[in-house]
């Protein structure tokens, strides 16, 4: 077929935000539709080149085609939406019943999280996979934050240099690993990257809230008294994730993520009471915006999407 068909399919592909297998199926359907329409036009008396050109143009602008396809194929059914919200519910219940320090229940849930991530990764990363992935990466963040807090709370630099060295090395390694994983996700769709980092917002926010309330190494009870608030925030995130996965419009999904940040910030402010000041609140807002909208900024710098499978796809059709 003409280069115009390849240009159309290539442009649509670059704007799709779906898993690779779904993209291949969609592009194959578009190609088949153009091919069938071109045959009809040829039977009406047009040359092959003219028929293919008209059939391609009848599809309309590639951006509009990709937008409609993204909306149709990005909506999860209710079971998948529930699956996406489940890790928020599990950890929310863990805090609601104050069992988050119970090694048995914590281990069971973490094993479930890593099992779900492994299964989802092998199944072309459905939408529900991304919330589970966020919780799989969260323990590494928690360890890093606790290590950093101990370094900040040390009495002097001479006695804490090894803590700072450990914190720098740890964050360097963990950041590199997380960056490799998350950039791979963001290159598919930055909204899914934001969805996967929602647990980061909760963890960072509640750890900071606990510190402002005099917790962490400064008292015997890490997150003591905050469990009901944490549980409520995680259950709220579960509901927000369900709404997110059921929406079609991308701008509505962005709005829902911003609402999630607002809900978390409101709960943290309420839990802190007078212990939070304007500077603390500003810090939380900056962190929230960086976590929610950061993937969008990264997405703009990643450049064109990978070409895996595209050459083979077109070669098979061009020799058809």
Which tens digit of pLDDT belongs to each residue from 105-129? 999 999 999 999 999 988 888 889 9
Q: CA-based angle 146:268:238, to the nearest 5?
A: 90
Give percent above pLDDT 90 in the chain.
29
- Whether the CB-CB separation of 240 and 259 falls below 8 Å is answered with yes
For residue 148, the SS3 value is helix
For residue 14, the SS3 value is helix
Is the predicted pLDDT of residue 212 greater than 80, yes or no?
Answer: no
- Per-residue CA distances from 204 to 219, 283, 284, 294 (Å): 18, 11, 9, 15
Q: How does pLDDT run across 152-178, given as a tens digit for each residue?
A: 766 555 556 777 788 888 888 888 887
pTM of the model: 0.83
């Amino acid at each position: 077929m003409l280069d115009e068909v390849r240009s159309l399919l290539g442009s649509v592909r670059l704007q799709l935000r779906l898993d690779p297998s779904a993209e291949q199926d969609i592009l194959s359907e578009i190609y088949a539709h153009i091919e069938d329409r071109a045959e009809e036009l040829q039977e009406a008396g047009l040359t092959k080149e003219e028929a293919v050109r008209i059939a391609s143009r009848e599809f309309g602008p590639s951006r509009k085609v990709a937008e409609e396809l993204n909306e149709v194929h990005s909506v999860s059914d209710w079971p998948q939406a529930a699956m996406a919200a489940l890790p928020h519910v599990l950890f929310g219940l863990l805090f609601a019943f104050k069992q988050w320090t119970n090694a048995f229940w914590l281990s069971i849930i973490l094993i479930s999280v890593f099992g779900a991530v492994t299964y989802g990764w092998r199944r072309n990363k459905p939408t529900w996979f991304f919330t589970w992935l966020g919780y799989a990466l969260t323990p590494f963040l928690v360890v890093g934050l606790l290590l950093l807090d101990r370094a900040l709370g040390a009495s002097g630099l001479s006695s804490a240099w090894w803590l700072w060295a450990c914190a720098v090395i740890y964050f360097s390694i963990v950041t590199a690993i997380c960056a490799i994983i998350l950039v791979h996700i963001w290159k598919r769709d930055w909204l899914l990257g934001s969805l996967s980092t929602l647990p980061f917002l909760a963890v960072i926010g509640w750890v900071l809230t606990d510190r402002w309330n005099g917790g962490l190494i400064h008292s015997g009870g890490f997150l003591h008294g905050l469990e009901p608030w944490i549980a409520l925030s995680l259950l709220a995130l579960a509901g927000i994730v369900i709404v997110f996965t059921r929406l079609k419009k991308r701008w509505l999904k962005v709005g829902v993520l911003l609402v999630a940040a607002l809900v978390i910030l409101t709960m943290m402010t309420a839990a802190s009471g007078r212990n939070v000041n304007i500077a603390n609140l500003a810090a939380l807002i900056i962190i929230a915006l960086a976590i929610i909208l950061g993937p969008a900024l990264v997405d703009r710098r990643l450049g064109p999407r990978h070409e895996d499978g595209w050459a083979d796809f077109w070669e098979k059709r061009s020799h058809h």
